[in-house]
Structure 1
Amino acid sequence: MSRPVSSSLDKKKNIISLKDRRNSMEATIMKQLQKIVQQFPEEIAQMSKDSKGIYQSTDYKTMYREVQEAAAAFSSIGISRGETVGMIMDNRKEWLLCDMGLLSIGANDAPRGCDISSKILAHILGIPSCSTVVLENSHQLSKVLEVQADLPSLKQIIMIEAAEDETAAKASAYKLINWEDLMETGRKTLAESPSMIDEEIAKGQSEDTTTIIFTSGTTGIPKGVILCNRNYVYQVEAMLHVIDVTEKDTWLTILPVWHSFERVIQYVSALNGACLAYSKPVGKTLLTDLQSIQPTLFTAVPRLWDALYTGIYRNIKVKGPKAEKLFGIFLKIATKDEHYKRVLENRYPDYSGKAHPFLKLHALFGRLGTLPMRKLGDKLLFSKIVKKMFPKLRCGISGGGALQNMVDEFYSAVGIKVLEGYGLTESGPVISVRDENHPVVNTVGPVFVGTQVKVLDAEGRDLSPGERGVLHVKGPQVMKGYYNNPELTASVLSEDEWLDTGDIAVLSINDEITLVGRAKDTIVLLGGENVEPVPLESKLKESSYIDNAVVLGQDKKFLSALIIPDFDALEEYAKENNVMYENRTLIGEAPELVELINKEVADLVSPSNGFSSFERIYQFSIIQNHFEVGRELSAKMELLRPKIYEMYKKEIENLLNR
């Protein structure tokens, strides 16, 4: 079901122009929400599934009433201004109600998803001394019980879903409160004092802490990033300069709601009167929800955009060799036409400021041949793909990692606009996003209005556009610091509030950012050459036979790699080419398939693709299992390198000592 949009004359009178919204944000999240509720009381705020899997809608007036009830309920059980409450749950409407309920009374949260381990949970609840935690289900309660001795401050637990009797019996040391019972208490409290929550919201200040988000902690104890109202309200306002978010939009949300990227997207939606629809990054579920909700805006990590791209290709391949060949021809033409269009529209990053009239003239004449064929390809093929997957999508946003160039090119060619963004938890998280109306490729967009950036070399000198160095950022979205850790804060945040991102980047003359890699991930070869592994790994993943890759070579003569194959693609290749293999798990050991991977690696990481000779992958080992979130991958699908080095220590040693 696509979201209904109001069209009555009375509601049209309430609509504020986008220009006015950019300059009229309130100082806190909840004060801005109050304004939106007054303007769009009957617009849909949330769409979430009921127990039967059917989407149910909640308008802004109803959502705000539920937020007030949650706030009154939290207040009734002793939660006070400045207090930190743990929140362990996945994507569901109650998450936003809890979050905004706490913000309404000046409290804040320490959130995480249900995939958390008991060890990390102990850190997240223990470091800020949480006396209250909200848990999604009994499984999360069991984790709390495992680390009960490490949580001396914890006194009461709110259960979104009622705890199982056996688990509840073991939790006698805590006061267990069912969510529905708590909300009923909130309703009664609010009925007795209708203005109490509005009065509390009025006390809110821009510097009030809204959340403490703990990083994954792959190299030690998790770090608690402190973010405040100012950080989020600024991003909500700045986002409007690059993406026109209005009450007519519907966001499909699939990323973990506790994560900084998805969290700010929820605020961008709610504080501009748009609709949030909750889904999951699970193949069939997501595809069904895309058809049902028909979002205008959609956020995902690069891995998901890659999975959707792979799915499209597989569907084309199933239709037979002729269809696959025809699709390839039209895609090649559309990609060429898109290149010409970018040249004419100045949508490549400019590092020098020099004019290139001959390139534009070449592009102008080039489009005379490519544009008609692209339109034909769109009519015959591409428009059908777009209509099936994203019938109303205006643009998608990719964040949380680098979007592969091949995937980026594909979506542009077929007519799906994907805007790559950039940031980190410590920066609230968003620093930049490509402009919806002028997306410059090979960048993660221009920095937000009001944000400053600079690129420094190893000696701390400012570098010019086009020069590579470590990116530093300063702006209203940058964190207040790490919770109770001034030394660690000082290591990344200078006294004049410049944040060292640790990312290697290049700036254009228009302050568009091109990311190169992570400073701490840089590999230094024995000959002194510096290699950024991320671009190499991204290139390797362009192969339909490679699911993931880890480039290695610190202090070695040359580079090596761990290759994680796409087992489905290898199995399909083996069947088509009569390759014998013992079983699916050992398919990567078949000599013919090893040679196939070898050819893919050599062809992709080659001088013809812009790589230097020292960046060549000389040898590799095939890992016979998929990388998984929480094990080898972070929630953002990024490689957890320290864990990988430890988990595959034997394989790495054997590879590097060949």
Structure 2
Amino acid sequence: MSATSVFDAFLKSVDKNKDNTAFVYRSAEGEHRVSYEKLFYDVLILSKAFEDKKMKKGSKVLLLSDNRYAWIVTDLALVSLGAVSVPRGSDTPTQELEYIVEHSECEYLIFETEKLYEMHKDAVVSGNKEIKSIFIIESEKAHKLFTKVYAYNDILTERGISDQDIEHFRSKREELTVDDVFTLIYTSGTTGTPKGVILTHKNFLYNIENLPEIIDLRSDDIWLSILPTWHIFERAAEYLALTGGCCTVYSTIKTFSQDLEQYRPTIVATVPRLWESLYIKVNNAIEKQGEKKKRIFDTLVNVSSTYKRNSRLLKNHLPVFEEKGAFERFKERLKARFTLMGLYLPNKLASKKLSAVQDKFGGRMRLAISGGGSLPPYLDEWIDALGIRIINAYGMTECAPAIAGRALNCEVFGTLGPPVHDTQLRIVDEEGNTLPNGEEGEIQVKGDQVFPGYYNNDEENEKSFTEDGYFRTGDLGKLTLTGELVITGRIKEIIVLASGENIDPSRIESTITKLPFIKDAVLVGQDRKGLGALVIPDMEKIKEHFSSIGEFKNDMTESLRDAHLIEAAKREMNKLLHPKKGFKPYEKIQSILFLEKDFEQGEELTNTLKKKRHAIEKKYSQKIQNLFKKDK
């Protein structure tokens, strides 16, 4: 590794790109552009202020904030001191925050606003003698005599910088090594208790030093940022841009479409849910222009998609999991050639017409990166048909985050590409035997990006690693014959929504099964907008509990499909999933399906009566598809 720490990488980038624009953001005063040199001084001043408050290497610091320029300045200031950030978003429930602060042994707390501080102080701050100081980013003045609460405005009054200050700040790089802890990120656990993922400088440096080559990162690239900064995917993207001398523009859901056209980014990194929103927005806009225009647009997309698919078949750029006979390959290729001949001129027209849609994305986007969940095939093909190069990436917080990606070094469409550089990836069966390419099993990985373990959690660490040091991802997948990865399902229980939010289903399932009319339930919603539930009902209790709806028919199968019953049951469930009880807004049930048969041991249940989620999702796959039909 050329850098000895993330802070060292930051300093090298500043020295090389000091006049470049590092960040663009808006505030009430208007637009602000920050050069790398200005960023350097902002970080230095805050680092100095933190050091004056006795913050040092190894100090654990809660950073509770959403996206803003002050977030990255704060994070870099913590990095410079060797302090360990414990980042979360403002929507974190108090109950969860209380656990994280206590479990991580935080000594310092940073809140984005006074409102956030007031919301959590009774549960998180009161009685916690370990907390040395509390800081509020956005506040006029907060410090009072004999209190330990400070606004940034209280500690940043002295903005003078001497040569000695600069020398002292830069010398901090000598105190950091690749094995020091960079951050501690809490992610959902299978028991409902968050797990603290320890990431070292080595883990994070692996990503920011190996990924630029496969995306051909350039110092004149402009990134549009919209994901929560504390999420590992967005954080890695921002540091990738930062250490590459690029410019990052902070956007919001509200201004995203406008910012695409105004700032004309070359790279956008986001989750499937946002690509889905753009898909819907573009299609709705064309639909409003009339049925004829919509039909023409759909035809153009179909022509482009079909032409690209057949072209890839001839170039061997489609996934292959088993060898085909020579005659079958000949037939496929012959058919593809005739298809390409027939679509040559229509595709030329389609490419020309669809370039107008590219203008909605700014007109110069060279890469669209999708991570934080699998990109649905229809979206993958749609973005590709528009002529935008999509990088479909696979990663986890535990890998800081990169595992595999269909980057510029891979042309095999419909896959997640090969494992990233120097990553050992294998597919194993239930006994731990390595499977040949083409066969499905658990994905296990080993490499410099893989975390050393969960903080103070021996039980999870023992379950998460094999004897020979591979990390068990809990995901099911298989490799093509040429080594590209495809995700096929999940062994582990965590559900990742299309928005990138991680949800522990067991906690929600155990809560809703407290209702008398629910015997069992399984949550679904991987890569979807929201959660769905497959419910095993207690028929007699259903009749009792919802008698006010009216008489039930003799055929209970028909009754269980009644829209009034489904809505009433959903309301009852969501009453239990209230934020005051520690649940987040996106943990509510959006749709439910009553099943007619109980889960059976050996089929949907293990010998110890644990639910086999993958088997359940496979058995009811069509019904789950129907449950989420409105998603598209």
Alpha-carbon spacing, 1:293–1:117, altered in 2? closer, same or farther (3 Å):
same
Map 1:399-548 to 2 at 5 A. Answer: 399-436=371-408, 438-521=410-493
Contact persistence 1:521–1:533 (CA under 8 A): no
Shift of 1:95: 1.1
Whether 1:288 and 2:265 are equivalent positions in the alignment is no
Whether 1:278 and 2:250 are equivalent positions in the alignment is yes
Segment drifting more, 194-203 vs 298-307 = 194-203
Contact persistence 1:207–1:230 (CA under 8 A): yes
Contact persistence 1:117–1:143 (CA under 8 A): no
For 2:358, the equivalent position in structure 1 comes to 386
Equivalent of 1:338 in 300, 308, 312:
308
For 1:162, the equivalent position in structure 2 comes to 139
For the residues of structure 1 that align with 2:84 and 2:10, how far apart are their CA atoms? 17
Alpha-carbon spacing, 1:477–1:374, altered in 2? closer, same or farther (3 Å):
same
Alpha-carbon spacing, 1:513–1:639, altered in 2? closer, same or farther (3 Å):
farther
Which amino acid letter does the alignment assign opposite residue 352 of structure 2? K
For the residues of structure 2 that align with 1:346 and 1:223, how far apart are their CA atoms? 42
Shift of 1:277: 1.0
Equivalent of 2:108 in 132, 136, 139:
132
Alpha-carbon spacing, 1:426–1:156, altered in 2? closer, same or farther (3 Å):
same
SS in 2 for 1:109: strand
Unpaired runs of 5+ residues, structure 1, are: 1-23, 524-531, 542-546, 557-594, 599-619
Contact persistence 1:25–1:233 (CA under 8 A): no
Whether 1:63 and 2:13 are equivalent positions in the alignment is no
Alpha-carbon spacing, 1:314–1:653, altered in 2? closer, same or farther (3 Å):
closer
For 1:212, the equivalent position in structure 2 comes to 184
TM-score normalised by L of structure 1: 0.75
For 2:18, the equivalent position in structure 1 comes to 41
Which amino acid letter does the alignment assign opposite residue 93 of structure 1? Y
For 2:97, the equivalent position in structure 1 comes to 121
Q: Deviations over 1:301-334 (max 9, x none)?
A: 1111111101111111101111111112222211
Shift of 1:419: 1.3
SS in 1 for 2:178: coil
Shift of 1:77: 0.9
Map 1:82-231 to 2 at 5 A. Answer: 82-147=58-123, 148-149=125-126, 151-162=128-139, 174-185=147-158, 187-188=159-160, 193-217=165-189, 219-231=191-203
SS in 1 for 2:104: coil
Shift of 1:288: 1.3
Percent identical across equivalent pairs? 29
Q: Deviations over 1:388-432 (max 9, x none)?
A: 223111111111112111111111111122211111111111111
SS in 1 for 2:134: strand
Q: Deviations over 1:38-75 (max 9, x none)?
A: 221111111111224x3321111111122222222211
Contact persistence 1:40–1:273 (CA under 8 A): yes
Alpha-carbon spacing, 1:315–1:624, altered in 2? closer, same or farther (3 Å):
farther
Map 1:606-645 to 2 at 5 A. Answer: none
SS in 2 for 1:478: coil
Which amino acid letter does the alignment assign opposite residue 284 of structure 2? R
For the residues of structure 2 that align with 1:537 and 1:428, how far apart are their CA atoms? 21
Contact persistence 1:250–1:296 (CA under 8 A): yes
Q: What is the root-mean-square deviation of aligned Cα atoms in Å?
A: 3.4
Shift of 1:203: 1.8
Equivalent of 1:322 in 280, 283, 292:
292
SS in 1 for 2:156: helix
For the residues of structure 1 that align with 2:308 and 2:296, how far apart are their CA atoms? 18
SS in 2 for 1:373: helix
Unpaired runs of 5+ residues, structure 2, are: 495-504, 506-521, 539-557, 599-632
Equivalent of 1:240 in 212, 220, 224:
212
Which amino acid letter does the alignment assign opposite residue 273 of structure 1? G
TM-score normalised by L of structure 2: 0.78
For 1:21, the equivalent position in structure 2 comes to none
Contact persistence 1:99–1:108 (CA under 8 A): no
Whether 1:349 and 2:322 are equivalent positions in the alignment is no
Q: Deviations over 1:102-157 (max 9, x none)?
A: 11121120001111111111122221221211111012101331313463312311
Contact persistence 2:478–2:485 (CA under 8 A): yes
Contact persistence 2:232–2:400 (CA under 8 A): yes
For 2:610, the equivalent position in structure 1 comes to none
Alpha-carbon spacing, 1:485–1:277, altered in 2? closer, same or farther (3 Å):
same
Alpha-carbon spacing, 1:537–1:181, altered in 2? closer, same or farther (3 Å):
closer
Whether 1:550 and 2:532 are equivalent positions in the alignment is yes
For the residues of structure 2 that align with 1:175 and 1:108, how far apart are their CA atoms? 20
Shift of 1:555: 13
For 1:371, the equivalent position in structure 2 comes to 344
Whether 1:260 and 2:232 are equivalent positions in the alignment is yes
Contact persistence 1:241–1:449 (CA under 8 A): no
For the residues of structure 1 that align with 2:203 and 2:5, how far apart are their CA atoms? 10
Alpha-carbon spacing, 1:548–1:76, altered in 2? closer, same or farther (3 Å):
closer
Alpha-carbon spacing, 1:163–1:61, altered in 2? closer, same or farther (3 Å):
closer
Which amino acid letter does the alignment assign opposite residue 58 of structure 1? V
Contact persistence 1:73–1:189 (CA under 8 A): no
Q: Between Structure 1 and Structure 2, how many residues are aligned?
A: 539
Equivalent of 1:299 in 260, 266, 269:
269
Which amino acid letter does the alignment assign opposite residue 365 of structure 1? F
SS in 2 for 1:231: helix
Which amino acid letter does the alignment assign opposite residue 216 of structure 2? D
Which amino acid letter does the alignment assign opposite residue 80 of structure 1? K
Q: Deviations over 1:475-507 (max 9, x none)?
A: 111111111112211210234321000001111
Which amino acid letter does the alignment assign opposite residue 339 of structure 1? R
